[in-house]
Amino acid sequence: MRGSTAGLADTLASGSRAHAALLETADCLFASIVVAPAVVSYWKSTWSLMDLYVLPDTPVSSAAACAIFGLCCDLFLCVFQSKLGKYLRPDHGRLTYYVLSRVYTYVAGVACVGAWRGVWNLLNECTGDSARTLLSTTAAATLSLAALRALRNISAAPFAVAVDGPQDYFDVPTMFRTSSREMALYVLDCIFSVAVVGSLVVFVWRGSWALLDIFLYPDDQIRSFWTSLIIGYVIVLVTFAMQVPMRWVVARLHGAPRLLLVDIYHLISFVATVNVWRGVWGLLDVYYFPDKPKLSNWSTHIISLTLLILLNCSNSILVRGVYIDAEEPAGDCVIFPCHYLRLFFHKERTKKRHRRAIAAAALATARKTEEASFPLQMPEEKV
C-alpha cells in the first residue's frame, strides 16, 4: 500500500498543464472512490474470515497463529524477493507469469492481513483498550516511527495505489537497503523491516482506530461509521488539494524543518485514511448481509480482489516494504503514489512514439534500398 514517487512526477509530466491537472484529479478520484473501498473491503472480509475460521473459540491462540503465519510469510517473501523477481518474469511465459504473480499477491495479501490481525489482537489482549493505554502506545509507536524516519509507512489507500507492473512486482524495500549479497545482514534487515517497523505501524493504526471507537459516538455505531467516512473523505480532499503548495514549500526547506513538515503532512493524510477505512469497514458490517457473515465476507473477499486484479492494481492490498521519510528529492516526498491513469497514458504515449520511430526507420531503410536498386546511369559516349 505504500510506495515511492522519486522522479515519477517529472517523468509523467508531459502535455499541457490542463491535461496534466485533469489526469491528476482523475487519479485522485480513482484512488479515493474505486481503489480505497475495494482495498478496505478485501481487508475487512479477509480479517472477518479469519475471525470465523482460525481458532474462533480461543482468541489468543487465534491471534498468535495469525501473527506467526503472517510474519513468517512476509519475512519469506521479503528475503526471497530477488529470486522471485528473477524467475517469475513475463519473458519466461506471459500466462505463467500472470497466474503465478497473482497467486503471489493472494498469498501475500492473506499473510499481511494475518500478521496485522495477530499483532492487533495480541496487543488488545496484553494492553487492554483503555483510552490512556491507547494514547500512550499510539504516541510511543508514532514517535518511534518518526525517529526511524519511517512514519510515512502508516500510509495506505486512498493515498497509495500500486500498479501491477512486472518491473517491481516482487520488490520489498528494506529499512537499511542492505544488499542480498551480504546474506546475514540482509536477513537481519528483513527481520527488522517486517517485525519491528511493521508492528509499530500496526500499533499506530490500532490505537487510532480504537480511540475513534471510544470518542466518536460510541453509543451509536451507525452514526459513528458515517461520521468517520465523511470526515475521512473531507480530509482526503483537503490533503490532495494541498499537494501542489506543499510540494512548493517542501522543495525550499532543508534538514529538520523539511522532515518535520513532511511528517505532519503524512500524519494529516493518515487521519483521513484511518477514518475512511473505519467508515467503509463498519458500514459493510452494518449494511451488507449483517445476518449472514459467511456470505457477506466470502462475496466481499472475492469481488474486491477480482476487481483489483482486473484493474491491474491488486498489489494495493499489500503492506510491504519500508520507505524512508523525505527520501525523495525536493518536493517529491509529499507526492502520493497514486499514478494510475497517468502511468497508463504515459505508457500509451511511449508505445506510440516507439511505433513511429520503427515506422520512420523502416521507411528510411526502404528508401535506401530503393535508391540502391536503381542502375547506375553512365554518361553517353561521344560519337
**Cell of residue 239, nine digits:** 490533503
Instruction: Name the nearest CA neighbour of 305 among 155, 157, 106.
Output: 106
**Domain contains 358:** no
Q: Which helix (H) or strand (E) holds 15?
A: none
pLDDT of residue 283: 98
CA angle 18, 310, 114 (to 5 degrees): 110
- Average pLDDT of the chain, as a whole number: 92
Residue 132 resides in a domain: yes
Q: Cα–Cα distance between 316 and 157 in angstroms, integer? A: 7
Predicted pLDDT of residue 383: 41
Report pLDDT digits (tens) over 44-57. Answer: 999 999 999 999 99
The pLDDT tens digits of the residues spanning 115-138 come to: 999 999 999 999 988 999 999 999
**Does 119 map to a domain?**
yes
The dihedral over CA atoms of 343, 261, 318, 237, expressed in degrees to the nearest 10, equals: -60
Whole-number pLDDT of residue 14: 58
- Local confidence pLDDT in tens for the 383 residues of the chain: 556 655 555 555 556 788 888 999 999 999 999 999 999 999 999 999 999 999 999 999 999 999 999 999 999 999 999 999 999 999 989 999 999 999 999 999 999 999 999 999 999 999 988 999 999 999 999 999 999 999 999 999 999 999 999 989 999 999 999 998 999 999 999 999 999 999 999 999 999 999 999 999 999 999 999 999 999 999 999 999 999 999 999 999 999 999 999 999 999 999 999 999 999 999 999 999 999 999 999 999 999 999 999 999 999 999 999 999 999 999 999 999 999 999 988 877 777 777 777 777 777 777 777 777 655 555 554 44
Three-class SS state of 84: helix
CA–CA distance, 35 with 311 (Å, rounded to integer): 9
* CA distances (Å), origin 76, targets 79, 166, 291, 368: 5, 20, 38, 56
* Inside any domain, residue 189: yes
End-to-end CA distance of the chain: 87
Do 273 and 155 meet the contact criterion of CB atoms below 8 Å apart? yes
What is the distance between the alpha carbons of residues 151 and 262, in angstroms, rounded to a whole number?
10
Cis peptide before 158 (omega within 30 of 0): yes
Cβ(37)–Cβ(91) under 8 Å?
no
pLDDT score of 103: 97
Q: Note whether residue 294 is domain-resident.
A: yes
Other C-beta atoms lying within 10 Å of the C-beta of residue 358: 10
Q: Domains in the chain: how many in total?
A: 1
CB 108 within 8 A of CB 74: yes
Q: Nearest CA to 1 among 217, 331, 314?
A: 314
Amino acid at 145: L
Q: Is residue 376 domain-resident?
A: no
Q: Rounded CA gap, 125 and 134, in Å?
A: 13
Q: How many CB atoms lie within 10 A of CB 361?
A: 10
What is the 8-class DSSP label of residue 320? -
Q: Supply the range of the domain harboring residue 39.
A: 8-343
pLDDT at 381: 47
CB burial readout 119-131, b (16+ within 10 A) else e: bbbbbeeeeeeee
352 assigned to some structural domain: no
Residue 382: the pLDDT is 44
Residues 6+ apart with CB under 8 A from 74: 108, 111, 112, 115, 194, 198, 320
Is 377 within a domain?
A: no
